[in-house]
A and B are shown apart, each in its own frame.
Chain A
Amino acid sequence: MGSLTPVETTSDGNFISTRLDALINWGRKNSLWPMPMGLSCCGIELMAMIGPKFDIARFGAEAARFSPRQSDLMIVAGTLTWKMAQAARLIYDQMPEPKWVIAMGVCSSSGGMYDSYAVVQGVDSILPVDIYVPGCPPRPDSVIDAILKLQKKIERESPTKKFFSGEAFVDERGSQALLYQPNAAVKRSSLDLSPHDPRTGSKNAPEPAKQDG
């Protein structure tokens, strides 16, 4: 039963009374349907995690679906480029509520070693991330640990409060969650010059592109 701490049990054991929040969360956390967003080498570890050797079926998350409509956990596994960022956000938008995101590996957590013009410096600048998994790539055990931590996080949510307050039905048009705001890493990239940059002290440095926001 896990977190479903029974408040009252009848003597014959056929009835149990508990809080609705605990019941809903118990159902959600034990049947996560991951959407494997395998973008690079982390995807291989993700496959190993789903396969029989590490076997996330033990934690109820083995039903990997490649359609966002049928999944509620997005595992961003690998380097997210700015070109792919649109697709990633679109897939996230198409997932039904409730939904969670795991950033697997350093590339999706912070850009990793790719401090480059092509790579998103952390997927948290375009998606709300719940759990970050370090490693390059992380071992399957680390990601399983992340799923266990996410289950603990889901336990603490209160879906009924969300439902009765109307928060779950708010049109996202005006909400900040929908709005892309460049993180510090992006802002820095257009201004700072590294000490090795040949541009330092040169007279014909290229003009930074005009802000179009």
Chain B
Amino acid sequence: MERVRTALEGCRFEQRSTSDGIPAFGVSREDLHEVLQRLRDRADFVAVTFVTAVDRYPSEPRFELHHQLFSLIHEDRVRVTTELSEKDAKAASCVDLWPGAAFMERECYDMFGIRFEGHENLRRLLMPEEYGHHPLRKDFPHAGIEPDRLYRKWDRERRKNWDPSRAGGAK
């Protein structure tokens, strides 16, 4: 795509093959924010469709971080892929470019454990806050690790604060 090549002039990137025909570019972690900013400002990719990751466990580098961008004017898409190792799974946040990416980065952190630097509110989105695991990692067991942890904690509190006058039945 000529527009993208012009926008990314001077950046290091490699073209990747995709089966769905969307042009994809692999960039290094250091260049990620610069590439995304250029794509937004110079190539009219004003919207981010998704921020997600793929776990290639057990090969290393383990994670592939995907940003898919959409241009409303040209009606085309582009995908930016960044490879991250397990030990150092962090990347620059793109919330300053697209505020809507905040939730997607939070979900990505929740499910894969990838930290986004510059994200102001990087908390878990779906799993309980104190849950120590990342469910979409390939080495997470399918049936979960202690899925009832939050409920058990709540149940203990409930028994402690049990008020018979508010419960049905007991007098």
- Interface residues of B toward A: which range? 20 to 34
Sample 27 A-B pairs with CB under 8 A, ordered by A number. A85-B151, A86-B151, A97-B169, A98-B169, A116-B143, A116-B144, A117-B142, A117-B147, A119-B147, A169-B170, A170-B170, A172-B162, A172-B169, A173-B162, A178-B159, A178-B162, A180-B152, A189-B141, A189-B143, A189-B146, A189-B147, A192-B141, A193-B141, A208-B146, A211-B146, A212-B149, A213-B152
B164 interfacial by beta-carbon distance below 8 Å: yes
Tell me which of A82, A96, A125, A197 has the highest count of chain B C-beta atoms within 10 A of its own C-beta. Answer: A82
Pair B148/A89 contact, Cβ less than 8 Å: no
Grouping DSSP codes into helix (H, G, I), strand (E, B) and loop, the A interface class, with mixed when no group exceeds half, is: loop
Nearest chain B CB to A39 CB, angstrom units: 15
List B38-96 residues whose CB lies under 8 Å from chain A. 57-58
Cβ-defined partner of B159 (8 Å) among A179, A185, A212:
A179
| Those 7 A-B pairs whose CB atoms lie nearest each other, nearest first | A117-B144, A97-B169, A189-B143, A96-B168, A180-B155, A117-B147, A199-B139
A194 interfacial by beta-carbon distance below 8 Å: yes
Chain B residue nearest to A115 (CB atoms) is: B143
B132-171 CB mask vs A (1 if < 8 Å, else 0) is 1101001111111111111111110011001010111111
Q: How far is the CA of A79 from the CA of B151 in the complex (A)?
A: 16
Nearest chain B CB to A201 CB, angstrom units: 10
Could you tell me which A residues sit within 8 Å of B by CB distance? 68-69, 82-83, 85-86, 89-90, 93-99, 115-120, 125-126, 168-173, 178-180, 182, 185-186, 188-190, 192-194, 197-199, 202, 204-206, 208-209, 211-213
Nearest chain B CB to A133 CB, angstrom units: 24
Q: How far is the CA of A192 from the CA of B135 in the complex (A)?
A: 16
Pair A209/B168 contact, Cβ less than 8 Å: no
Say yes or no: A202-B142 contact (C-beta < 8 A), given A182-B152, A209-B133.
Answer: no
Pair A117/B145 contact, Cβ less than 8 Å: yes
Nearest chain B CB to A55 CB, angstrom units: 28
Say yes or no: A116-B142 contact (C-beta < 8 A), given A170-B170, A209-B133.
Answer: yes
Pair A118/B147 contact, Cβ less than 8 Å: yes
Pair B164/A186 contact, Cβ less than 8 Å: no
Nearest chain A CB to B104 CB, angstrom units: 19
Grouping DSSP codes into helix (H, G, I), strand (E, B) and loop, the B interface class, with mixed when no group exceeds half, is: loop
Say yes or no: A206-B155 contact (C-beta < 8 A), given A117-B135, A190-B146.
Answer: no
Chain A residue nearest to B143 (CB atoms) is: A189
Say yes or no: A173-B143 contact (C-beta < 8 A), given A89-B155, A182-B148.
Answer: no
Say yes or no: A209-B146 contact (C-beta < 8 A), given A82-B151, A117-B135, A180-B151.
Answer: yes
CB neighbours of B167 from chain A (8 A): 93-94, 172
Pair B147/A97 contact, Cβ less than 8 Å: no
Q: How far is the CA of A91 from the CA of B158 in the complex (A)?
A: 13
Pair A82/B150 contact, Cβ less than 8 Å: yes
CB neighbours of B154 from chain A (8 A): 86
Q: How far is the CA of A89 from the CA of B162 in the complex (A)?
A: 13
CB neighbours of B132 from chain A (8 A): 209
B16-37 CB mask vs A (1 if < 8 Å, else 0) is 0000000000000000000000
